[in-house]
Amino acid sequence: MTFHFARGVRIAGLAALASSVTCVPALAHHAMGGEVPQTFAQGLLSGICHPLIGIDHFAFVVAAGIAAALAGRLWSLTSAFAIGAFAGCLVHLAGITLPVAELVIAATVLLLGTILVSNRNVSPATLGALFVGSGLFHGWAYGEAIFGAEQTPLLAYLAGFSLIQLVVGISAGFVGRWMIKGDATLRTNVRLAGAVVAGIGLALLVGHIEGLLFPAVQ
């Protein structure tokens, strides 16, 4: 009975994550309500919150941690994504535009979720390339919230989102390791988590494509 209850809690949590994609407004990507942080504390808070309340970023970081654990390179691969995101943010701050960034971000969420669902062994080198490339686009999106800020809140923001991504990714990786040890049902839950992530990515991708094809009338 205890086992089934615990499994039910995990499934319910994943279902809640999937359903939340429909109710997270675009502004929720910004902890400061769209305002540029003015102080160290505001920059740090914004940096920490952005990867958490942006459902696309959060889903990818969680899935990246699980995939990294499955590949046996939890720390290095999670760090690769964090480094890519850091670089992507700097690209934005340099005034360089990455085309259709939100579309690419949604596609990376869908791709990584599909990898987890497929239960295929993906080489660490391939995952590393995927994480760095995806990180560039996720980080570029992070840069929108801090563009134009002074140096102090900017540095705090960079530190905040880099740290929280590592914490979330590593934590998800440890949970992923627990899921794959010795129990077929727990291994199935890894694929279930991947299905939730893929569903989020698909929903976001369809939404962005629809927005491009049918722009809102002002």
122 within a domain of the structure (yes/no): yes
> Residue 93: inside a domain, yes or no?
yes
In this structure, what DSSP letter does residue 25 have?
Answer: -
Q: Tell whether 27 is covered by a domain.
A: no
Contact between 115 and 194 under an 8 Å Cβ cutoff? The reply is: yes
Quick check: is 14 in a domain? no
DSSP for the chain, written as a single string:
-HHHHHHHHHHHHHHHHHHHTTS--GGGG-TTTTPPP-SHHHHHHHHHHHHHH-HHHHHHHHHHHHHHHHTT-HHHHHHHHHHHHHHHHHHHHTTPPPTTHHHHHHHHHHHHHHHHHHT----HHHHHHHHHHHHHHHHHHHHTTTTT--HHHHHHHHHHHHHHHHHHHHHHHHHHHHHTSS-HHHHHHHHHHHHHHHHHHHHHHHHHHHHHHSPPP-
Question: Is residue 25 in a domain?
Answer: no
Q: What is the pTM of this model?
A: 0.83
Domain span at 192:
47-213
Any residues with CB less than 8 A from the CB of 84 and at least 6 apart, and which?
131, 132, 133, 134, 135, 136, 138, 139
Regions in the chain scoring below 50 on pLDDT: 1-28
Does 67 fall in a domain? yes
What's the pLDDT at 21? Answer: 40
Whole-angstrom distance, CA of residue 155 vs CA of residue 149:
10
95 belongs to a structural domain: yes
pLDDT at 186 (0 to 100): 64
Number of domains in the chain: 1
What's the CA gap between 88 and 3, in Å, rounded?
42
pLDDT by residue (tens digit) across 165-204? Answer: 999 999 999 988 887 775 666 678 888 899 999 999 999 9
For residue 205, which amino acid is it? L
Which pLDDT tens digit goes with each residue over 183-192? 666 678 888 8
Q: Is residue 16 part of a domain?
A: no
